[in-house]
Structure 1
C-alpha cells in the first residue's frame, strides 16, 4: 500500500505536466495559458533574482508571523475558554459573530486602526487564521474524557502540570486539525492583504502582472504560491507525525484489532 502511494506521488506531477502541455497546445499557442516550457523560463527569469528578496521573502515573513501568532493566541484563548463552562457560554455568540465576518472586509478597518504597514497585513492573517485553531482547541478541551479529569484530580495533578500532561495531549489531535486549516487560510489572507495598499509581496506582484497583461509572469506568481502551499503541507505533516506519534500508533493498533 505504501509503495503504491509513493508511486502515485511520483507519477502525479509528470501526468499533470503532460495534460497541461496537451491542453495548452491543442488549439495552438494561447496568450492566456503559457506552455510549461514558457512558464519555467518565466519563473526563473522573474523569481530567481531580485524579486525573491523584494516580494517572496517579505511575504513569507508576514505569513510566518501571522500564522504563528494565530496559533499561539488560538491555543491560549482556547484553553482559557475551554476549561471554563461560564466563559464558553458567554463567548460562544461573540466568537460566532466575529467568525462569520470575512477577514477581507476587515482590511479597511485595520488600515485605519493599525496603519498601512506590515502590521496591518499580519493582523489580517491573524484575524482570519485564528478561528480554526481557537474553536478546535475549545472543542478538544471540552471533549476530554471525564474519566481522565477525575483521575487527574484523584492524583492531585492541577495547574500547569494538568494542562501540560493531560489537557494538551488529549486535545492535540483536534488542535492539529485546526492548525492544518489555519495554514491554508493564512496563505490566502497573505495574498489578499498584499493586494491592498501594498508595494511589495506576492499578492502585490501578481496584481501588477495582471494589470500590465504580463500573463506568463502572473502564472509564475501563482506557481510560487502553490509551491509555498506544498512546502507548508510537507513541513506540517512532518511535525504532525512527531507530535501525534502516540495517537497515530494508537490508531494503527485499533485498525489492526
Structure 2
C-alpha cells in the first residue's frame, strides 16, 4: 500500500520535473524580455515571494488565495452533493429542474465575476461566491448522474431489509455515487482555481492573481513568471490532496476494480 502511494506521488511529480528540465534547457540562452530564462525566473523567486521585496509574499498573497479556494470549493462540494442527491433521488424534481441546469451549465464561469460583484461587492465574499458558483456545476451534475446510476437491485435489496431512508442514503446511495462525485470534484477544482485567479484580477488588494497582474503592469516579467509557477504549484498540490482523499474514501471501489481486472 505504501509503495502504491509513493508510485502515485512519483507519477504526479515526474512530468512537471521533466517539463522544468526541458524549460531550463530550451530557455538557457533566451534574451527575450517577455520569455526570460528559467534560471533568471528562479533567481527572482526568493526576493519576490520570500523576502517581500515587491510587497508580495507567500503569506501576504498565497494564504488569502488558498483560503478563498478552500472555502469556495468546500461550499460548492457540500451544496452540490446535497442538491444532487435530492434531485437524483426524485424523478419529478429532476424533470422540473433539468432544463434550468442545462441552461446554467453552458454559462462560462468568468462571466460570473462582474455579475456577482454587483451583488456581493469586491471583497472576499465576492471571490468566494464566484469560486463556489463556478465549481458547483460539475459536482452537481456528476452527483445527479451518480445517484441515478445506483443499481436498482441493490436499492430493492436495501428496502427488503427495511432500511430507513437515511440509512439507505448513507450506506448505499452516497457510497455507490461517490466515484462519480469525486470525478465532478476534480473538474470543479480546476474550475475553482481558474475563477480564483480571475476574481483576484478584478478590484483586489492581495492574492496570487492580483500579484501576477501587478507584475505585468510594472513590466516585472521574471516576477510575473514566478507568480505563474506558484499558481501551477498550487494547482498541483490541490490536485494531490484531492487525489489522496479520493484514494482513502474509494478504497473499496479501487479494490473492487482490481479484483474484476484480475478475474
Give the TM bin, normalised by the shorter chain. over 0.9
Q: Is the Cα–Cα contact under 8 Å of residues 28 and 39 in structure 2 kept in the other structure?
A: no
Q: State the 1:68 CA deviation.
A: 0.2
Q: Give the aligned CA root-mean-square deviation in angstroms.
A: 2.0
Aligned residue for 2:103? 97
Alpha-carbon distance in structure 1 between the residues aligned to 2:8 and 2:121: 48
Equivalent of 1:155 in 161, 168, 174: 161
Map Cα deviations across residues 90-115 of structure 1 (whole Å, 9 max, x no partner). Answer: 00011111111112212222111111
2:236 matches 1:230: yes
2:72 matches 1:70: no
Alpha-carbon distance in structure 2 between the residues aligned to 1:9 and 1:233: 9
Equivalent of 2:116 in 110, 117, 142: 110
Q: State the 1:236 CA deviation.
A: 1.3
Q: Is the Cα–Cα contact under 8 Å of residues 129 and 186 in structure 1 kept in the other structure?
A: yes
Identify if the C-alpha distance between structure 1 residues 49 and 84 changes in structure 2 by more than 3 Å, giving closer, same or farther.
Answer: farther
2:12 matches 1:17: no
Alpha-carbon distance in structure 2 between the residues aligned to 1:54 and 1:6: 29
Map Cα deviations across residues 36-84 of structure 1 (whole Å, 9 max, x no partner). Answer: 2222221121112442222110011000000000000000000111110
TM-score between the two structures when normalised by the length of structure 1: 0.93
TM-score between the two structures when normalised by the length of structure 2: 0.91
Alpha-carbon distance in structure 1 between the residues aligned to 2:256 and 2:235: 29
Equivalent of 1:82 in 68, 88, 101: 88
Alpha-carbon distance in structure 2 between the residues aligned to 1:112 and 1:135: 27
Alpha-carbon distance in structure 1 between the residues aligned to 2:13 and 2:108: 37
Summarize the alignment of residues 155-194 of structure 1 with structure 2, pairs less than 5 Å apart: 155-194=161-200
Alpha-carbon distance in structure 2 between the residues aligned to 1:10 and 1:58: 25
Identify if the C-alpha distance between structure 1 residues 3 and 86 changes in structure 2 by more than 3 Å, giving closer, same or farther.
Answer: closer
Aligned residue for 1:40? 42
Alpha-carbon distance in structure 1 between the residues aligned to 2:61 and 2:163: 49
Map Cα deviations across residues 7-59 of structure 1 (whole Å, 9 max, x no partner). Answer: 76675455323321232134x42211222222222112111244222211001
Unaligned runs of 5+ in 2: none
Identify if the C-alpha distance between structure 1 residues 69 and 209 changes in structure 2 by more than 3 Å, giving closer, same or farther.
Answer: same
Identify if the C-alpha distance between structure 1 residues 5 and 88 changes in structure 2 by more than 3 Å, giving closer, same or farther.
Answer: closer
Unaligned runs of 5+ in 1: none
Alpha-carbon distance in structure 2 between the residues aligned to 1:22 and 1:159: 60
Q: Is the Cα–Cα contact under 8 Å of residues 73 and 192 in structure 2 kept in the other structure?
A: yes
Summarize the alignment of residues 175-214 of structure 1 with structure 2, pairs less than 5 Å apart: 175-214=181-220
Q: Is the Cα–Cα contact under 8 Å of residues 24 and 34 in structure 1 kept in the other structure?
A: yes
SS at match of 1:119: helix
2:140 matches 1:134: yes
